[in-house]
Structures are given as C-alpha cells and as structure tokens.
Amino acid sequence: MTLLFVAGVTLVLVSIVLLGMAVAKPQPEGVHRSIAVLEAMSSAPKELTQELDRPFGERVLDPLRGRALSIGKRLTGSDSADRIRQKLDLAGNPGTWTVDRVISSKVLGAVVGVVAAFGITALLGTSLSLRIVIVVGGLVLGYVAPNLYLYQVAYDRSAKMQRELPDAIDLMTISVESGLGFDAAVQQVATNTDGPLADELARVLREMQIGQSRSESLRNLSERTNVPELKSFVSAMVQADAFGIPIAQVLRVQSSEIRVKRRQAAEEKAMQVPVKITIPLIFCILPCLFIAVMGPAAITALENFS
C-alpha cells in the first residue's frame, strides 16, 4: 500500500510538471502551427513580406525574360537590334513589343518548341531519328515564331495602307484645292480617317511639330513602310517641296497614277485566278466529278463481267 501511495503521488507530481511545461511553452501542431505561421507573417516587417506581395509576373516572368534576353543577345548578331527595330516599324510597333522582348521571346519560343516536340514524340512513341527531326523542327519553329508574327502583321498593315492610299491622296487633293496648305491637308486625313495610314500621317505631323523639317518627316515615313506607292508619293512630295512645284498639281498627278496602279494590280490578280485554281481543280474537283460520273458505269461494267 505504501508503494502504491508513493507511485500515485509521483505520477500526480509528474502530471502537474508536464502540464505546467505545456502551458508555459506551447508546441503548435496542425492547425495551431498554421495559425502561428500566419501570425508570424502578419507581424513580420514590411521589408520581409514585400517580396511575397509582388505579382507573379514580376517575381518569376521578369527574371525569366531577363535570362532569355541575355542568352538571345549572345546568339544573335550585333546588327540584330536594328533589323528587329525595322521589322517593328513595318508592323506598326504592335502593343508593348520592343527589341528586347522580341529577342527574349525567340529564346523562350525555342524552349517551348523543344518541350512541345519532346511531349509529342513521347506520346506518339516515334523512333529516335524521327524524334530528333521533330525536336529540331520545334526548336527552329519556336525560335522564328516572333519573326513570322511580325512579318504577318507588317504584311497585313502594308496591304491595308495600300488600299487606303488613293482615297487619302484624293482627300489631300480636295483639301489643297480648296485653299488649305499641305500640312493642314495631312491633318484632315489624319483626323477624318482611321487605319495605319492615318496613324503614320499623324506621326509625321507630330515629328514636324517637334522641330523636324517636312522633307525629313516624309523620309522617315518612307523608311517605316514598304509600300511602293507610298514611297513614290513621298519622293514626289519631297521633290515638290525642294523645287517649289505646286502641291495641288503634284497631288492630282499622284492620285491618278496610284489609281491606275491599283487598277492594274486588280487586273493582275484577276489574271492569276485561272492559274491558281488549276491545282484544286485537278486534285479536288475533277476526282469527285469522275467518281460521280464514271462510278455507276464502272460498277455496272464490273457486275456484267463478273
């Protein structure tokens, strides 16, 4: 009995000591541990939590683009920046595209193309030689994808400017013949029309407002486009400004010439239609026609001979 009493008292004392230690130093576990972490983060200095408060793009995407840009600058030549800037000017500087963004996008596109090619070949279970070809093709396609995008945007923009140019020159001619100056006539086109040509003419006016001469601003317009008709118009305007030729007469001549060129281009495309329709006619239309016409006769002949 004495031993049992001593053991019971000892257990009670040990329980009291453990309870006191638990109350004095709580050990958070599970939900208590998560609450403790949240309290620690909320009570942490602003300098420590500022990194976590930044957006995902600034924390992850921007450093990734920076590394891709450094790699792309090593891979491309020294004159690549000028060539890319020329492509951006031809495309109208779409969105937030810059030279650095194009270079980094080429590297990231190459990486994505390689990863996608590996995934496709893994799913298809191709042979090693075919896998290498597909991976190299994905690498090349991803690397040149930004250039292809800029080329397509520049092509569509140039085609639209070529369609808008005759009407714009007609509006300039009417404005000049009604008594306005050339700058005011350009302003009329820039404000009363929409499209890439109006944007370029508005840029010409802004360059003239900041101090550039009319000839220099028009030459810059010619360098930012690859439309032959617009280059010819700019050259005529620069020569008229240099030699003092009446602007209205030059505009009238340019308008008639551009309309003749547009009519000739339409006739040229119309003459190309028979040649372009030959391939779908041979491989798509004629086989279906032969099946519909000769099919019943062939089936009947086979039945008779059998």
pLDDT tens per residue across span 184-210: 888 988 888 888 889 899 999 999 888
Kindly state the DSSP code that residue 284 receives in the 8-state scheme: I
pTM given for the model: 0.69
Region label for 195, one of left (φ > 0), alpha (ψ between -120 and 50) or beta (otherwise): left
Kindly state the DSSP code that residue 79 receives in the 8-state scheme: T
Q: Hey, what are 169's tokens?
A: 């020159």
Domains of the chain: 1-21+62-156 (no CATH), 160-260 (1.20.81)
Task: Find which of 7-16, 121-130, 149-158 is predicted with most confidence, using mean pLDDT.
Answer: 149-158
Write the single-letter amino acid at 155: Y
Under a CB-based contact definition with an 8 Å cutoff, are residues 106 and 70 in contact? no
How confident is the model over 137-152, as pLDDT tens digits? 888 898 889 889 999 9
Neighbour tally for 209: CB within 10 Å? 10
